[in-house]
């Protein structure tokens, strides 16, 4: 029998005991479980980064894996009335993976298509159990999923999650307008176009890149007319266009920062001019 894979993506931090509590409980409930820490340093209000971990991290595991996502909660942005109405956790099946969370927004941002099934599970009534759902509720949900229980038996059918589409590249004549959707921990600027889609648009044409940016009163000329395979294709401190590990185009600096060099940030514009 294959060991059950469980991943943890949380905002618990690395110096607290919360991760140890949950891992201990999971090992007690599922003796052959394999637990993987994806991140415990997520910010409660950074849904975009957590969604990226779901899309590119969680979905890299084998099908059947169960993913605990305990990062903030939609309740933190709700009104008092909405908080009273949304006293529930969600369990979703997506591409034969299972997700246990109380953040509907994060799941919606991570999806490319509708979930197969979503059910809601009411929060525990006991006040002692309500403050740490990953321990008091999620672990038992994981146990039941690992034992083969159907999702429908865990809770009440929930309305389908809404796929949240991000801004798409705009092609007009010989101009392709893209934007920066993420600045990663290396200060690389991820664009909202995949390499494969770009090659299809570009075809046999040549191109150069125009960036919309300004740092104080100083401007810097950007000279990009191709896609680099390696950072070392350009001199140290120079900007380049390359392909990220997720398949999207990205602007990067060899041994440097796109933020510091040219002042890029989320929503900065990047135009490709074909000729």
Q: What are the residue ranges spanned by the domains of the chain?
A: 5-157, 170-274
Q: What is the pLDDT of residue 72?
A: 75
> Over the chain, what is the mean pLDDT?
88
Higher-confidence position of 159 and 206: 206
Kindly give the pairing relationship between strand 117-122 and strand 34-39. unpaired
Q: What is the pLDDT of residue 123?
A: 84
- Note whether 210 and 273 are within 8 A (CB): yes
Phi and psi at residue 34, to the nearest 5°: -115, 120
Question: Is pLDDT above 60 for 75?
Answer: no
Q: What is the pLDDT of residues 105-126, one digit of tens each?
A: 888 888 877 777 899 998 877 6
The CATH class that applies to domain 170-274 reads: mainly beta
Q: What is the pLDDT of residue 179?
A: 95
- What does the alpha-carbon distance between residue 104 and residue 88 come to, in Å, rounded to a whole number? 10
Angle between helices 139-146 and 18-29 in degrees, nearest 10: 30
Q: What is the pLDDT of residues 125-147, one digit of tens each?
A: 764 556 789 999 999 999 999 99
The CATH class that applies to domain 5-157 reads: alpha beta
Task: Provide the whole-model pTM.
Answer: 0.81
Question: Is pLDDT above 90 for 91?
Answer: yes
Distance, CA of 34 to chain centre: 22
């Amino acid at each position: 029998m294959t060991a059950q894979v469980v991943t943890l993506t949380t905002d618990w931090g690395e110096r607290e005991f919360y991760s140890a509590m949950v891992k201990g409980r999971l090992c007690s409930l599922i003796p052959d479980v394999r637990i993987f820490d994806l991140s415990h340093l997520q910010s409660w209000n950074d849904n975009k980064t957590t969604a990226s971990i779901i899309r590119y991290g969680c979905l890299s595991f084998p099908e059947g894996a169960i993913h605990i996502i305990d990062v903030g909660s939609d309740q933190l942005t709700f009104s008092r009335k909405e908080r009273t109405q949304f006293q529930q956790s969600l369990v979703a099946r997506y591409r034969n993976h299972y997700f246990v969370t109380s953040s509907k927004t994060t799941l919606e941002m991570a999806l490319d298509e509708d979930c197969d099934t979503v059910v809601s599970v009411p929060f525990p009534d006991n006040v002692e159990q309500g403050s740490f759902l990953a321990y008091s509720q999620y672990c038992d949900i994981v146990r039941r999923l690992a034992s083969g229980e159907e999702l429908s038996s865990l809770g009440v059918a929930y309305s389908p999650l809404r796929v949240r589409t991000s801004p798409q590249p705009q092609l007009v004549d010989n101009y392709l307008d893209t934007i920066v959707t993420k600045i990663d921990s290396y200060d690389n600027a991820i664009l909202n176009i995949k390499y494969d889609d770009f090659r299809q648009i570009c075809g046999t044409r040549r191109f150069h890149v125009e960036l919309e940016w300004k740092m104080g009163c100083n401007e810097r000329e950007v000279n990009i007319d191709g896609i680099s395979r390696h950072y070392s294709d350009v001199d140290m401190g120079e900007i380049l266009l390359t392909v990220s590990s997720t398949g999207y185009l990205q602007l990067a600096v060899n041994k440097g920062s796109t933020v510091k060099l040219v002042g890029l940030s989320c929503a900065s514009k990047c135009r490709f001019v074909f000729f």
